[in-house]
Structure 1
């Protein structure tokens, strides 16, 4: 096996070791479509079926903002941003 194939294999193993990869939970287009502005993070988790991976978090003037990411099947994924525990924005790529 050449070096580039070894690096790709190693990168795949690192990704497979992430917390979402350890579960069978995957975001779907149906779950994404069911998310609505103002929905709490807890309700979003119940809708999607698992907790998201926290990508960023900040607090300014007492307002906490957190961005989460969920993997979908294949290359699909989705992000959701919550402010004061209410959904303020969402985006997806390639969910089915």
Structure 2
């Protein structure tokens, strides 16, 4: 019985903390600013550098797709040849 309650509690916790699109948009904007420009000559880097900060988040939202698996989500962002795939689980994002 304790095992079933533990599994139910963990499942409920994951469902409640599955990050939404707004959280992802905030995370991916910061992530792209810090990681996209590792290749300085890329179109993605040039676009991100010249895009005003307040426009980056809504721009990246247009290039992002969410697959919701209830307990976690997989997000894919394709932006000018740069592809970022991330897993959102437990209120956090992890690049894969």
Normalising by structure 2, we get a TM-score of: 0.37
Q: Indicate the structure with greater helix content.
A: 2
Higher relative contact order (CA 8 A, sep 6+): 2
Q: Indicate the structure with greater strand content.
A: 1
Normalising by structure 1, we get a TM-score of: 0.37
